[in-house]
Structure 1
Amino acid sequence: MAVKNSSMILSASVMHGLGMHLGAWAARDGEVTDYLRPEMYLQIARTAEAGKLHAIFLADGMTNAEAGTERPCGSMDPVTILALMAAVTNRIGLVGTASTTYNQPYDLARRFATLDHLTRGRAGWNSVATFLPAVASMFGGGTLPDHESRYARADEFIDVTLKLWDSWEDDALVGDKANKLFAHAGKVHEINHAGEYFSVRGPLPFARPPQGRPVIFQAGASPEGRDQAAKYADVVFTAQHLLEGGVEFRSDMRRRAQSYGRHPDQIKILPGILPVLGATEADAWRRKDMMDEALGLGPELLKLARRVGLDVEVLKLDEPFPAHLLGPDEAFSGSIGFRRTLVNLAVKEKLTVRQLLARYGGGHQQIVGTPEQVADIMATWLEAGGADGFNLMVDMLPSGFDDVVGMLVPELQRRGMFHREYEHATLRENLGLGEGPFPTR
């Protein structure tokens, strides 16, 4: 199977400190403290850019409340790590997660605009409305706001951030030494935002970012999350295990974007996939088994229980997944998108809990096999309209990046599915989003 469309987008995620697989830290070569050291991130950045990936994506758990002391978690500050990566790269996009629940718009807008300037237009912000209740105890106590309140705050947060990024006109900075004119005061604007959650005067203290606006990523799958992404997001991450779900999601997001006056091609949909690669299928399964054995089933079972909102005691490994015990989505405080895709997979394919654990890849579609087998599935999704590209959930760091770049990327390029060179300087342009003008949102 071949798809002649080299515009496919590929980003790759740095997750959980040492890999998406929870057993990666114990299975990998190298010190377990590597996730605290600059060398690993510099190596990943160089490798990913050599493979012409569009972007590196850093998740952010903010606390280790979920993992505790069982394993490393990817909770160091993403923007600081991305700034480190920026020093050894020139073209690859650098995308970091930051919460709209536990940040302030002015600080976040300044932070990502700074990264955009220092990378000459390669910054992206993954906007998340934090869903982990334990995070609330790290920010003054209290309880996590409910789903509706989190998304209402996030809507206003993004709106304020965009206004701040727009507060300097493109030609405001002059730098005319002879006439002692640094910038046109009339082209730098206070935003004077006064809303339900925020009161921000503005402007930002420096010139407009090179991209105009750093690229906005988002991953909400609830009705509120989808609507917010349709209004604001340039790229949407999604967890989809079934092709029909992927096609429905992408079609729905394109329709919603159009209803807000946007061209549907201006929103890109990237399902997450967890590839476990090998030169042969047997090699790939040996890698998977090695990570599974290093972990044991307990942590994966507990994570599955949290993802779907069930007590771990009711998940019997060799019995059907107990979907009948689930409460309504409206009463669930976690990620509704992760929950729905896992439950749909288990119910449609009548999986036992053990079978679901073998398939779900920490919440995303897991593919164990050769580069050809992984590329076949990716091609199927692209042809069916289920994706504009993929966010690769790298199994183990840094070797998983070596496998993606050394095995999967050449196979995709051989089929004409993926570009061989970066065509543009900025992330926005390389994603096919153009350089503006920006729509009224």
Structure 2
Amino acid sequence: MVTSVTDAEAQNFNRDRQPSHAQRYHRAREFMSVVTGLWDSWEDDAFLHDKAAGRFFDPEKMHVLGHRGEHFQVRGPLNVARPPQGYPVIVQAGSSPDGRDFAARWAEVIFTAAQDLSQAQEFYRGIKKQLADHGREPDEAKVMPGIFPVVGRTRAEAEDKYAALQELVDPVVGLGLLRLLLGGADISHLPVDSPLPELPRTEGSTSRQQLVYDKARREGLTIRELYQSVSGGRGHRIVIGTAQSIADELEDWFLNEGADGFNIMPPVLPDGLDDFVGQVIPELQRRGLFRTEYEGRTLRENLGLGRPAWGASARTRQD
């Protein structure tokens, strides 16, 4: 669940420009109410498949949504059975105040960005409190920051890998990505070897804009150094080192209220993912921090998330 970032997205959907940040989240709340209501069009045992009696489904267990709201008018029902997981796992990305409230209300996995443990802890502890404010238990949403791991057999090997990747960052692409992360702010006229000045904030991803500004100020980066540093991890934490040192950092965040897990963003595919799976995962398993086999049959089960009971959407709409 994301509410879009750029006007280019809006122009694919009958708009000249995107709505304001607040309007997007206002619309998103109604959107989620509609979607979950449609997933609850049929009770779990509605489909009988009784050929002898000529009954395909029990009409008493079909429910018409009949939604009429500010942004959407949807009659329903959905023309497929309720999903096997109750609802598909609901993943959200967005860390502004509106994004956090939206995540605490709806998300089951929260994809966020943090540059250090203190940032991760502030987000983690805040979200867990907001979950309770919405009547949810802390484990009903998993906080999973993005991690960009560059793995080497030695620290020097990992640093060499990262340096080689940095040399491949095309300046045009790097500046374009930085502009996107800054919410579309125009930086084309700025000298790339000077610090990033304060720019007008846009209606794009407000939390990512702030993260990039904070990184530039904290590390004293020029625009060139900044676009190089965010080109790989897109503003997420870059971890460079051996399997042991990377496992140390993941363990530290996991055990100290920085994360419930991680969204792994390999630097290159397939080699970067192979390095992580082949070197870091065994180290995490040796520490008892990663499973050795899957316990469940679905993503929801393996994330330790409960299956939403039928009718949960109706309670949500009443709320």
TM-score by length of 1: 0.66
Contact in 1 for aligned 2:166/2:228 (Cα 8 Å): no
The match for 2:5 is 131
**Which residue, 108, 112, 118 being the options, matches 1:238?**
112
**Which residue, 275, 292, 308 being the options, matches 1:403?**
275
Aligned length: 309
Give the secondary-structure state (helix, strand or coil) at the position aligned to 1:377.
Answer: helix
Give the secondary-structure state (helix, strand or coil) at the position aligned to 2:168.
Answer: helix
Establish whether residue 338 from structure 1 lines up as the match of residue 208 from structure 2. yes
Give deviations 1:121-140, integer Å, cap 9, x for gaps. Answer: xxxxxx11111111222333
Q: Give, in whole Å, the separation in 2 of the partners of 1:435 and 1:202.
A: 22
Q: Give, as a single letter, the amino acid of the residue that structure 2 aligns with 1:432.
A: G
The match for 1:181 is 55
Q: Give, in whole Å, the separation in 2 of the partners of 1:167 and 1:139.
A: 26
Q: Give, in whole Å, the separation in 1 of the partners of 2:149 and 2:260.
A: 17
The match for 1:366 is 238
Greater Rg by CA: 2
Q: Give, as a single letter, the amino acid of the residue that structure 2 aligns with 1:373.
A: S
Q: Which runs of 5+ in 1 are unaligned?
A: 1-126
Q: Give, in whole Å, the separation in 2 of the partners of 1:216 and 1:334.
A: 22
* Residues 436/158 of structure 1: CA separation in 2 closer, same or farther (3 Å cut): closer
The match for 2:129 is 255
The match for 2:297 is 425
* Residues 315/160 of structure 1: CA separation in 2 closer, same or farther (3 Å cut): farther
Give the secondary-structure state (helix, strand or coil) at the position aligned to 2:76.
Answer: coil
Task: Tell me how large the CA RMSD over aligned residues is.
Answer: 2.0
Q: Give, in whole Å, the separation in 2 of the partners of 1:369 and 1:315.
A: 32
Q: Give, as a single letter, the amino acid of the residue that structure 2 aligns with 1:341.
A: L
Summarize the alignment of residues 126-165 of structure 1 with structure 2, pairs less than 5 Å apart: 127-165=1-39
Contact in 2 for aligned 1:302/1:312 (Cα 8 Å): no
Query: 1:244 Cα deviation (Å)?
Result: 1.3
Contact in 1 for aligned 2:96/2:207 (Cα 8 Å): yes
Give deviations 1:168-227, integer Å, cap 9, x for gaps. Answer: 111111122222221100101101000011111111112111111111000111111111
Q: Which has the higher contact order (CA 8 A, sep 6+)?
A: 1
**Which residue, 91, 96, 114 being the options, matches 1:217?**
91
Q: Give, in whole Å, the separation in 1 of the partners of 2:249 and 2:158.
A: 16
The match for 1:196 is 70
Query: 1:421 Cα deviation (Å)?
Result: 0.6
Q: Give, in whole Å, the separation in 2 of the partners of 1:272 and 1:426.
A: 22
The match for 1:314 is 190
Deviates more, 1:358-367 or 1:374-383: 358-367
**Which residue, 388, 391, 395 being the options, matches 2:260?**
388
Give the secondary-structure state (helix, strand or coil) at the position aligned to 2:90.
Answer: strand
Q: Which runs of 5+ in 2 are unaligned?
A: none
Contact in 2 for aligned 1:239/1:337 (Cα 8 Å): no
Q: Give, as a single letter, the amino acid of the residue that structure 1 aligns with 2:102.
A: Q
* Residues 374/353 of structure 1: CA separation in 2 closer, same or farther (3 Å cut): farther
Q: Give, as a single letter, the amino acid of the residue that structure 2 aligns with 1:281.
A: R
Q: Give, in whole Å, the separation in 2 of the partners of 1:150 and 1:217.
A: 17
Q: Give, in whole Å, the separation in 2 of the partners of 1:431 and 1:156.
A: 26
Q: Give, as a single letter, the amino acid of the residue that structure 1 aligns with 2:60.
A: G
* Residues 312/282 of structure 1: CA separation in 2 closer, same or farther (3 Å cut): farther
Q: Give, in whole Å, the separation in 1 of the partners of 2:265 and 2:225.
A: 20
Q: Give, as a single letter, the amino acid of the residue that structure 1 aligns with 2:289.
A: M
TM-score by length of 2: 0.90
Give the secondary-structure state (helix, strand or coil) at the position aligned to 1:269.
Answer: strand
The match for 2:306 is 434
* Residues 147/269 of structure 1: CA separation in 2 closer, same or farther (3 Å cut): same
Contact in 2 for aligned 1:300/1:357 (Cα 8 Å): yes
Deviates more, 1:277-286 or 1:153-162: 277-286
Give the secondary-structure state (helix, strand or coil) at the position aligned to 2:280.
Answer: helix
Contact in 1 for aligned 2:140/2:305 (Cα 8 Å): yes
Give the secondary-structure state (helix, strand or coil) at the position aligned to 2:297.
Answer: coil
